[in-house]
Chains A and B, each alone.
Chain A
């Protein structure tokens, strides 16, 4: 069976303007001097994800999780390496890849003044889904997520963060993707919304045979949802395996967090770069 995602030697760096020294200023201009600094966001990453698998990527903020998701979703060009989604190269065959994927990001990015329905219909049209089909699908998905049907016409600004994230998940699933990229979908949600979203991810995998790549820094969520988990630290994968394998390698520790600390020498709350 063809793997859903194959990443080989993938690297991505960014140039970032950095203040050299707040105390040093140009005598002529009086402005502080700035220089360019190279940040390696993703560094020689190799992995593959099987069809129907839930693959977790765990790491701190700034460790490269979102960059990796953006690379897979054709929003960034890799500096080195190859990424294939169901055999299609994300650079050379990006339109084919875009038909197979969708993404939920940590920020539920919407036209804030438009209603949930207007945002969903806009997204559906972009994916060639007719408004009638999209409406029926949206109602079904939002119903599964516990979103109140009566709030569909409310402006996004009037919806809670949890409700917005549920609309974001509905938007991603409207196009029936076979690869779903979930970039911290439950960060900042209240416990109930978090449970609703996690339940829906399980439902997607069980009933729609979707492949999911899930980034998170919630170790319990990864433990509960993922078939395999990769730990990412400063852009590099430091370990990949099933949650149980990680714990066994860690000498039978109780949680993935302990394994992470053991492997990286720091906790998940640390901010990188």
Chain B
């Protein structure tokens, strides 16, 4: 039993260490990507400055930062299989005597850590430039919301990760489209009420909509957990539904790939 836990832990660590080693090896591109993200978010922040509305600046920055974190989480997980297919290592990873949960937990752990590091770096730049004060923020609420929303986005990421096992190139393309649609309907930079009527139902099924609303409540209005109980329960329901669905989809996708011979190198 102890040996099995140790082996599971080593396998999870294998994915986290591998992914951070890759970040280190692609440091030039990582720097470019972070600079690009910081500049994009700051550019949006200046819309609030232009309006002379400090509250709007904070509203936009919370949206940008949170979307930066959630989209990194989603993208990292969604690309986990596609990247291995591109490198040609997928057969070696899937041939190893480890459970798929080790692969998924390892990939998720890296995605959360990497997303947090990037978000802290971007937050530092935002505070430096706009001098945003979060003195009124309820940090406990913000952390709980971040955990709940991370879990639901892990579920979405797992579902997207399956797609390349059906079609390596189109699967990856579909994941990007899905990410863009979540950005559109979730109210990252505006209230979802401004969306056309036919788009609004989509905003109701996106966990990002509730995450953004709750996070703004916690950081701008200092709302406590009790006040946001309903939204938090909803976010955990998303997680409870999406993670098992994602895991089941992943298992199904792998079986399909083993039947159709799609675990080979692609690219």
A interface residues with partner B (beta carbon < 8 Å):
14-15, 67, 70, 73-77, 95, 98-99, 101-103, 105, 107, 109-114, 118, 121-123, 125-128, 130, 155, 171
- Given contact pairs A75-B263, A125-B13, a sample of 11 additional A-B residue pairs in the complex whose CB atoms are under 8 Å apart: A73-B95, A74-B95, A75-B91, A75-B95, A98-B95, A109-B91, A113-B25, A114-B18, A123-B92, A128-B97, A130-B10
> B258 near A76 (CB under 8 angstroms)?
yes
Q: How many angstroms from the CA of A114 to the CA of B7 in the assembled complex?
A: 23
Q: Is B31 an interface residue (CB 8 A)?
A: no
Query: Contact: A95 with B97, CB < 8 Å?
Result: yes
B230 at the interface (CB under 8 A from A): no
Number of B interface residues in the complex (CB < 8 A): 32
Say whether B17 contacts A122, CB under 8 Å: yes
Cβ of A17 to closest chain B Cβ, rounded Å: 11
Q: Which residues of A contact B93 (CB under 8 A)?
A: 126
B26 touches A113 (CB 8 A): yes
Q: Which residues of A contact B260 (CB under 8 A)?
A: 14-15
Which chain B residues numbered 220 to 267 have a C-beta less than 8 Å away from chain A? 255, 258-261, 263, 265
- Tell me whether B91 and A114 are in contact (CB under 8 A): no
Number of A-B residue pairs with CB-CB distance less than 8 Å in the complex they form: 90
Decide yes or no: A109 and B92 within 8 Å by CB, A14-B261, A95-B97, A118-B21 being known contacts.
yes
Asked if B94 is at the interface of the complex by the 8 Å CB criterion, the answer is yes
User: How many angstroms between the C-alpha atoms of A130 and B7 in the bound complex?
Assistant: 9
A127 with B258: CB separation less than 8 A:
no
Q: Does B96 contact A (CB under 8 A)?
A: yes
Known: A107-B265, A125-B13, A125-B17. A77 touches B259 (CB 8 A): yes
Which of A101, A105, A127, A155 lies in contact with B91, CB distance below 8 A? A105
Q: Which residues of B contact A75 (CB under 8 A)?
A: 91, 94-95, 258, 263
